[in-house]
Amino acid sequence: MDMRRAIGNRVRGLVGSGELDLSRPPGDPGLFGPGSATWAVHGDFTSMMIGGVASLLVQMLHPAALAGVWDHSNFRRDMTGRLRRTAQFISVTTFGSTEAAERMIGRVRRVHERVTGTLPDGTPYAASDPDLLAWVHAAEVDAFLRAHLRYRDPAMPVARQDAYVAEMAQVAERLGAIDVPRTRAALNAYIEGMRPALRADARTREVAGLLIRQPSPSLLNAPVNAVMMQAGIELMPRWAARLHGFGVPLAQRPAVRLGAHGVGQLLRWALR
């Protein structure tokens, strides 16, 4: 097996793309379609992986989002599986048929209905809460867009960015979110307004540490994983990185970005 195929197969195995049926019947563009901003943003594996790391780290700063992971997942033993399931949801809802996307959304809604509990301070939480769904969605879309602008298309027009935010709002609303931002400016304002509700504690640090230090499934993947994690941390808003206690010195940021650009070129070659 040549190097390109070996790397490509490893990457596909990481996200489980070989398990997905992304075919669409004639005349069915899916939820978005080939000319959409969502296809453009979600079509680059490297920036999506970097954005995915950043989004998970920002999402878990919300106490209820963290509690859902802490109380209802086996993140200590299977963080890779959690990442794979997230990647598969995004792949199907982006590139799959309308029927497949709606089926996937329905499956996630049913899972959310079972995720309930109580925060350490006694406050009840539910993964199906519309406001919590809006937060998780906004943190994810913001991170994916940041990564796309940094690592794939820095010149993406604001109107095209707005189109991406508006398109992705459809998925959030189908999951049950309300008052979802529909422009880049509204997304920025929403996240800024959420900052007083965000915090980090010992549980946040444990989950974040397991995400960042998760073992690579192979020696071939290990260097790529290390670059993706550092690039994801560096991509986060500075205030979010400070809450986590992360710091990427200014002098190291160019090297992190250069490494991520190099990985991006390698993976685009392998997945072509």
Residue 19: predicted pLDDT: 65
What does the block give as tokens for 153?
A: 């298309």
Cα angle 247, 251, 255 (rounded to 5 degrees) comes to: 95
Q: Is 126 helix (H, G, I), strand (E, B) or coil?
A: strand
Residue 12: predicted pLDDT: 54
47-104 residue pLDDT tens:
999 999 999 999 999 999 999 999 998 877 776 777 788 889 999 999 999 999 999 9
Closest to 33 in 3D by CA, of 100, 98, 104, 103: 98
123 Cβ neighbours under 8 A, 6+ residues apart: 63, 64
Torsions phi, psi for 44 (to 5 deg) = -110, 115
Residue 224: predicted pLDDT: 78
Torsions phi, psi for 201 (to 5 deg) = -140, -165
4/172 Cα distance (integer angstroms) = 36
272/264 Cα distance (integer angstroms) = 12
DSSP state of 31: T
Residue 106: predicted pLDDT: 98
265/267 Cα distance (integer angstroms) = 6
23/72 Cα distance (integer angstroms) = 32
Report, as ranges of residue numbers, the positions in the chain whose pLDDT lies below 70. 1-19, 79, 215-222, 270-272
Residue 134: predicted pLDDT: 98
Among all chains, which residue has been given the structure tokens 């200590």?
76
Residue 225: predicted pLDDT: 81
Question: Distances from the Cα of 44 to the Cαs of 9, 41, 110, 252, in angstroms?
Answer: 16, 7, 29, 24
Question: Distances from the Cα of 195 to the Cαs of 51, 84, 219, in angstroms?
Answer: 19, 28, 38
218/236 Cα distance (integer angstroms) = 27
Residue 161: predicted pLDDT: 98
Residue 120: predicted pLDDT: 94
